[in-house]
Amino acid sequence: MRKNKDELRPEKVDGIELLDNPLPTWWVALFNFSMIFGLGYFGWFHILNKPGLKEDLVQDRKTHEQLMAAREQVALSPDDIVARLQEPKLIQEGKGLYAAHCSPCHGQQGEGTVGPNLTDKFWIHGGTPEMVLASVSDGIPAMGMVAWGPIIGQQKVEAVTAFVLSLQGTNPPNGKAPQGDEY
Ligand code: HEC
């Protein structure tokens, strides 16, 4: 700080006299802040190569697309779902899933052991394709029937449900007695 606040500089520029005051503190502070911020910015994005707005955007778009795809699946009308659950390819895929995940409780042929018989017309939690799909996807946790949706995913739930529905009326030996209501 100069002693005299409004002291003039000794020289003139094109006849213009100049004061010799220091820059205002707020201006210097802003300047220093910008310098430090700039260095940080440069280090973060150009040396450490941290993800920036562009990567954020790409990620956001990906999430959005996944969401839309998921929503499209949910938006299948009941008729579409019923038709889909009859696709032979899906049933075939479900067969392996059933053997791996379901047969311990529902029997190798769906005849029922711990869990109910899945081959008869009687259902505890509803026997329309959508209802069976919901039983498999959401489970009946209180009764020891796992919610399979979060475990094997929607697509596999549909496959294994398609297989279960294909067992209707197969009448395997040692079938467990019917439980629930007739559909
Ligand atoms: C740990 C044993 C267990 C496993 C494994 C299991 N379930 Fe179940 N499941 C049950 C039980 C117990 C019930 C009956 C719940 C009740 O009485 O309310 C049931 C009920 C169901 C129902 C509803 C039946 C009805 O009458 O409404 C369906 C459908 C079903 N299971 C399908 C499956 C499929 C498909 C799998 C394999 C992905 C599977 N379950 C795996 C034990 C199991």
Per-residue pLDDT tens over the stretch 115-166: 999 999 999 999 999 999 999 999 999 999 999 999 999 999 999 999 999 9
Helix (H), strand (E) at residue 114: none
Q: How confident is the model at residue 75 (pLDDT cuts 50, 70, 90)?
A: low
pLDDT at residue 81 in the model: 83
Query: In sequence order, which residues have a C-beta less than 8 Å from that of residue 92 and are 6 or more positions away?
Result: none
Q: Which domains are assigned to the chain? A: 8-47 (no CATH), 85-182 (1.10.760.10)
Instruction: Kindly report the protein residue whose alpha carbon is nearest to atom 6 of ligand 1.
Output: 102
Reduced to 3 states (helix: H, G, I; strand: E, B; else coil), residue 111 is coil
pLDDT tens for residues 3-51? 567 788 888 999 999 988 888 999 999 999 999 999 999 999 999 988 8
Which long-range contacts link 147-152 to residues 24+ away (Cβ below 8 Å)?
A: 148/101, 152/97, 152/101
* b/e per residue 142-165 (b: at least 16 CB within 10 A): eeebbebbeebeeebbbbbbbbbb
The two beta strands, 122-123 and 181-182, are: antiparallel
Whole-prediction pTM: 0.67
Residue among 120, 143, 145, 154 to mutate when testing ligand 1 (max atoms within 8 A of CB): 145
Q: How confident is the model at residue 80 (pLDDT cuts 50, 70, 90)?
A: confident
Q: Computed over its alpha carbons, how large is the radius of gyration of the chain? A: 35
The ligand 1 atom at the shortest distance from the C-alpha of residue 179 is 26
